[in-house]
Amino acid sequence: MQCDRCKEEVDQNEVFKTQDMNLCEDCYLDMMARPKTCDPWAVFQAKQTAGQNPSLTQQQQDLLDFIRENWPVTEEQICKQLNMDSDEFRTNFSILRHMELARGCKVNEKVCFAPFNAEVEEE
Ligand SMILES: [Zn+2]
């Protein structure tokens, strides 16, 4: 089977199905972590400061701390714990991801979030 987004060949049992697409894991996680409302300026800033002294907002710092202390965590856990809605989470997470501070992963068929360099046992 082919990923509908990047056109890579994907194993039948590694395909992630969304409403209208079959995706490979990378594309699926990428879509999951994408904010519905795109914020190009925030992403631009994130890229500018990545690698230097990253300047995070309080919300991003809280999110990063929570992920670092509790990974792997799901979006629901994060939203509940940090009192964020899904859009806020995705916007902030995408910044952390661009800065290579956090990433998405799949644990027991669930999409979870972990520090960028964490060695998560993915299944
Ligand atoms: Zn793909």
User: How sure is the predictor about 28, in pLDDT bands with cuts at 50, 70 and 90?
Assistant: confident
Instruction: Compute the distance between CA of residue 101 and CA of residue 64 in angstroms, rounded to an integer.
Output: 8
C-alpha 66 – ligand 1 centre gap (Å): 28
- Please check whether residue 121 lies inside any domain of the structure: no
Residue 92 within a domain = yes
Residues 49, 64: one domain? yes
What is the structure's pLDDT at 48? 63
Same domain assignment for residues 26 and 38: no
> Greater confidence, 61 or 17?
61
Let me know whether 2 and 42 are in one domain. Answer: no
Looking at the structure, do residues 21 and 67 belong to the same domain, yes or no? no
Number of domains in the chain: 2
What is the mean predicted confidence (pLDDT) over 20-46? 72
With a cut of 90, say whether residue 102 has pLDDT above it: yes
pLDDT at 69: 96
Do the domain assignments include residue 91?
yes
Domain with 23, as residue range(s), is 1-32
CATH of the domain at 86: 1.10.10.10
Asked, for residue 90, whether it belongs to a domain, the answer is: yes
Å from CA of 59 to ligand 1 middle: 30
SS3 2: strand
Ligand 1 center to 71 CA (angstroms): 24
**The pLDDT value given to residue 62:** 95
Residue pair 65/55 in contact (Cβ under 8 Å)? The answer is no
65 belongs to a structural domain: yes
